[in-house]
Structure 1
């Protein structure tokens, strides 16, 4: 039977998991690494202990879900919705345009905080790009090079202070589409406030390195990680529009491989059947919201979600609800 390793992190209030597979391939995703979850949904569909009182017993007593009736996929659809919230509010955002290319979207309320920085952000009156507000957001024409734009926008982000929490001092390349010309670099925590599409394939290597450090995966094994596709979503929350593309990787581990805590950030590992992992997604909110999408994609690709189940194609399509470009 295909099994996955899960671990519990001691560095966050709610449990944190990583999936490794000693027999069958496992998903790794650059944007939603199971080994670095930061935010949790706290609602759960059955009574278990929470927070620091969480135990592995909670994992193993997740109830079984029906496999073949019309409700079999309902729990998966619920998790898709958690990553695609309030899509009807897209009309509240105006295009963010650089060199005639739409690179993102800015909420009209957030735009009010940008307007005082007239030497950086301007708002031409023009409906060319489909704005509902008769204008769009762009950078001042004096900012003509990527380096100038990066510095100017960084100063604005810094000036906005607590309006943009979680500053990581990690710059993210900004382009109109994956692989296209990079216009400037933006603080990663600020990307959702400008509706930037975070997808950087180089992060896959960083994730693998992080997994090596946390679980003691030899480099000779981690280098065999195979890219297997991508999932995407659009999540709107207040001024934020997350247009994320998560690149997925399979990493096949030897049957006798046992993860070991290497950096002090992991409490323990357990081997859990992949069918139990599927039930965790259906019935709980243990995993980080966008990790659910990556694991669900794994379940599709390895036959754990079958086409004869009602809603199969709709669920498969919903894993790529965002802007895959």
Structure 2
């Protein structure tokens, strides 16, 4: 295994297996053929072509488009085509969160191959032995990646919350962190990837943060998503990312980015430039 293996695993998809989902010529998503076929039952709303699917006769306003899309996904969920509804709304956009055309339930975004946004925080401590990172182990009842390792704080970005507001919320829920401490997190960029998953295409953006924590900080989970926390030497984290599948898949990318920025993957690594390029994959 290698760092590149983890990057490639997050970017494994065949563009030929998906068709664009268009609204007024703008690509808002990418659907598998099987997903496309499910939308044929709404011919008044979706025009199926050989190389694309067009959202036609859509309401002109944000709320109307959101309501129509909600009706569609609720029907698909009732029939078991979609596994569940999350209850959290994501922006539907071809660009940034502030350019949303409507909203969709978080759990349904991959079915339509719609862009999703999240935040991942690298919580670390500087000790006399070097950098140590706080790592969480996901609870056994998690629908995705149960009991896999995860960041100290990581979560999706719902519509209607700013980056700062959502990060404070996630820091409190997932690590019991005071707001004053959460506000010390430093934005350090973003990682992008596009992956064919069981639920559909995931063209995702993860905003990344570093937070240097006091040595006496002890996280506590308030939302039940994490069953244990560990403070690990960063070299051990590096080996787990490189050599195992212990981490939730997309966490690997954010940690690799951290390792590069802190000189723990060096410029002499033969894969160095390819690793850097792979952390900023183009999104459809």
- Scaled by the length of structure 1, the TM-score of the pair is 0.68
Mapped partners of 2:76, 2:224: distance in 1: 35
Q: CA deviation at 1:257?
A: 2.1
C-alpha distance in 1 between matches for 2:90 and 2:107: 9
**Between 270-279 and 249-258, the greater mean CA deviation after superposition:** 249-258
Say if 2:16 is the partner of 1:78.
Answer: no
Distance 2:251 2:108 in 1: 21
2:105 aligned partner: 187
TM-fit CA distance, 1:210: 2.6
The residue number in structure 2 matching 1:117 is: 42
Q: Shift of residue 264 of structure 1? A: 5.7
Contact 2:91 2:97 in 1 (8 A): no
Change (3 A) 1:273 1:238: closer
Which position in structure 2 is the counterpart of 1:49?
A: none
Distance 1:81 1:234 in 2: 10
Shift in Å, 1:319: 1.0
Aligned residue runs from structure 1 range 49-68, under 5 A: none
Counting matched residue pairs gives 240
Deviations 1:158-181 (A, max 9, x none): 111221113101111112211553
| Cα deviation, residue 140, structure 1 | 2.5
Structure 1: gaps of 5 or more residues: 1-73, 126-132
Q: 2:258 corresponds to which residue?
A: 298
Give the match's secondary structure for 1:213: helix
Q: 1:219 aligns with which of 155, 167, 179?
A: 179
**Equivalence map 1:1-325=2 (5 Å):** 74-85=1-12, 87=13, 89-123=14-48, 125=49, 133-134=50-51, 136-161=52-77, 162-179=80-97, 181-199=99-117, 202=162, 205-237=165-197, 240-262=200-222, 266-323=226-283
**Alpha-carbon distance in structure 2 between the residues aligned to 1:97 and 1:265:** 35
* Cα RMSD, aligned residues only: 2.2
CA distance in structure 2 between the partners assigned to 1:169 and 1:261 by the alignment = 21
Q: TM-score, normalised by structure 2?
A: 0.77
Structure with more strand by fraction: 2
Deviation at 1:219, TM superposition (A): 1.3
Shift of 1:145: 1.6
What runs of 5+ residues in structure 2 fail to find an aligned partner? 119-156
The alpha carbon displacement at 1:209 in A equals 2.2
* Compared CA separation, residues 143 and 213, structure 1 to 2 (3 A): closer
SS at match of 1:251: strand
- Return the offset for 1:122: 2.2
**Structure (1 or 2) with the larger CA radius of gyration:** 1
Deviation, 1:321, is: 1.7
Q: Distance in 2 between matches of 1:179 and 1:98?
A: 17
How far the C-alpha of 1:265 sits from its partner, in A, is: 5.4
